[in-house]
A and B are shown apart, each in its own frame.
Chain A
Amino acid sequence: MEVRVQVEPFDFGVEAAAFAEGHTKMGAVVTFTGIVRDVADGLDRMEIEHYPGMTEKALEAQAHAAVGRFKLGDVLVIHRHGTMRPGEMIMMVATAAPHRTDAFQGAEFLMDYLKSRAPFWKKEYTADGAEWVAAKDEDEDALSRW
């Protein structure tokens, strides 16, 4: 299990390949990658602020919970902070499990928790100015299914 919070970009292919390697008892690996999405009026950049210390604790707790609940053999979470442009990768999760259902569900569970329970805040910069991204009700509602 590994959790990384970093400013630097990461190489999704390298990370996914390294994660998948050597798991002889894991028949399934699922990965998810979040990418900075352009907005209607043109996004110049996104800045992500976080709460050093709490962020790592929250992500590790969520990864542990996912491992216990879905019988995962391994979990990787990478989440960036700082300044990112449209098209850049913000974060990724990878889950490994003996069977695919657990790997898929573990990744979804992690993403749902990470969206609204890990202390990150996004601010979008467009030609019109800067605005904090508001949390969505649907993200909060998504937690109720777990």
Chain B
Amino acid sequence: MEVLYFAWVRERIGLPRETVETQAATVADLVEELKAREERYNAAFTDLSALRVALDQELADFDARLEGVREVAFFPPMTGG
């Protein structure tokens, strides 16, 4: 699946998007997989309460299931307007 990062999440991880091969069942499982990879992921995902997630461009929860999802995006709370 495609994993996208925005704002300071993108800066901490050091890239805007990547293709990830995963069997993770939920968003939280995917986060654990990413954190185990490298320190920069760990730095980005330290505090999940400071993060939001979207599945196929719709806001979702960290316990949401990933079955059938093509695009996951992680970002801080939004500051539009």
A111 contacts chain B at the CB level, 8 A cutoff? yes
A123-146, CB under 8 A of B: which get 1 and which 0? 100000000111100001000000
Q: Is the CB of A49 within 8 A of B81?
A: no
Contacts of A34 in B (CB 8 A): 81
B14 contacts chain A at the CB level, 8 A cutoff? no
For the complex, give the distance between the alpha carbons of A132 and B8 in Å: 7
Contacts of B78 in A (CB 8 A): 115-121, 135
Nearest chain-A residue to B4 (Cβ)? A51
B79 contacts chain A at the CB level, 8 A cutoff? yes
CB distance from A123 to the nearest CB of B (A): 7
At the interface with chain A, which of B20-28, B35-43, B69-77?
B69-77
Contacts of B6 in A (CB 8 A): 49, 51, 119, 121
Contacts of A79 in B (CB 8 A): 80
Q: Is the CB of B76 within 8 A of A121?
A: yes
| Range, interface on chain A | 20 to 34
B1-27, CB under 8 A of A: which get 1 and which 0? 000101110100000000000000000
Q: Is the CB of B7 within 8 A of A114?
A: no
Q: Is the CB of A119 within 8 A of B81?
A: no
B residues 38-81 in Cβ contact with A at 8 Å: 54, 57-59, 73, 75-81
Can you list 27 pairs linking A and B with CB atoms under 8 Å apart?
A51-B73, A54-B54, A54-B58, A54-B73, A91-B80, A91-B81, A111-B81, A114-B81, A115-B80, A115-B81, A116-B80, A117-B80, A118-B78, A119-B54, A119-B75, A119-B80, A120-B78, A120-B81, A121-B6, A121-B75, A122-B79, A132-B7, A132-B8, A132-B79, A135-B76, A135-B79, A140-B77
List the 10 shortest-distance A-B pairs measured between CB atoms, nearest first: A135-B77, A120-B80, A54-B57, A121-B7, A115-B81, A118-B80, A122-B79, A133-B79, A114-B80, A114-B81
